[in-house]
Amino acid sequence: MDTIQHSSPHTALVTGATSGIGREVTLQLADAGWRVIAVGRDQQALAELGRVSELISPRAADLLEGDLAGLVPEQLDALVHAAGISPDTGVEHTDTEDWSRVLTLNVTAGAQLARHALPALRRAHGTIVFLNSGAGTAARPRNAVYAASKHALRALANGLRVEEEGNGVRVSSVYPGPTDTPMFTGHVDRSELIQPASVAAAVLTAITAGPDVQLTDIHVRPRRELSW
């Protein structure tokens, strides 16, 4: 891949930007001098992000509906799909509507944003990062629905990578273990959980890797494996 030169800062689009890992990715990219389109639903959290840095452009959007194409700017160097939901029900108690919500947000929204972003990313030889999960490689009974969506996201990333390798677009998956975010509700000592900033640093590594490589799968695990 050739290095692309821009007269303005690099631009990233980050979903799930108002909390957890997505928020940390937004802050770290802005701190590195990137312009960040921060997408989320929490208006107050978006406003707070906008006050942190003039490089952060908050965009209120519901990824379950609405115009996803309108979120994508003409110039884009990185897309990070960090938005996601994890239902607290097993297969027996998850109805069709809930399955649809989980798969739409965790997988389809990321796929559609990638589709709309591909022309800009091809011009920039940019990078797509899908925030996956340890559940994307090993399902457990308590999170079968979430794991199913993350297995699908893994397949999306692997397939898209092959489709786009001739166009210069890199596709990475980041698989965090148990992370100290509102989504994690396991009964453990939370001081032993991974910090969102550590996962965000892995995302930035994938985005800023040298032009000769792509980091396809990054697993971020706690120093001590946890069970709950």
SS3 content of the chain, % helix, strand, coil (to 5): 45, 15, 40
Question: Token match 């309108």: residue?
Answer: 70
Tokens matching residue 193: 């959980």
Catalytic annotation, pick one of 107, 108, 132, 146: 146
Asked if 175 is an active-site residue, the reply is: no
**CA-based nearest residue to 4, from 149, 169, 220, 178:** 169
The span from the CA of 153 to the CA of 113, in Å, is 13
Task: Report which DSSP code applies to 106.
Answer: I
41 by DSSP, 3-state: which? coil
Task: Cite the active site residues.
Answer: 146
